[in-house]
Amino acid sequence: MPEKESHFHHFLRSCKYSILGLAAVHTEIAFRQLVLLNIVLCVLLYCLDFDLIVKMILLTVGILTLVIELLNTAIEAAVDHTSLEHHHLAKRAKDTSSAAQMVMLILLATLWGIAVYQRYFL
């Protein structure tokens, strides 16, 4: 009977897989572009005079763009692994995950626009 893994060892193994996932996704140009965008936005958050809650919301939405891109990349990899043949359901899966990223980026731009407008133009 195999030994049961301790919670700590399970946690360490999970961290290892997460790091491997980040290492794998760094080759994706879209992910690197989003990292760069988030770095620029974080510098802006530091420089601009927003309330703390606004900064927290903008930071959260920025990080969510990275999360969505990780999921998008995972879906694309799983679909490509399943079959390289063109199939309408595979296309739908890829298009839908890409659309999720687009919606998130529209939300990010909208919230930044509202925050800047409210703080500096009202």
Give the CATH number, domain containing residue 106. Answer: 1.10.287.3610
Q: Report the domain count for the chain.
A: 1
Q: Judge whether 107 lies within some domain.
A: yes
* Tens digit of each residue's pLDDT (9 = 90 or more) over 40-81: 999 999 999 999 999 999 999 999 999 999 999 999 999 988
Annotated catalytic residue 69: yes
Do the domain assignments include residue 81? yes
**72: domain range?**
28-120
Domain contains 23: no
| 7-25 helix and 52-82 helix, angle to the nearest 10 degrees | 80
Does the pTM of the predicted model rise above 0.85?
A: yes
Does 2 map to a domain?
no
Q: Is residue 20 assigned to a domain? A: no
Catalytic residue among 28, 69, 76, 85: 69
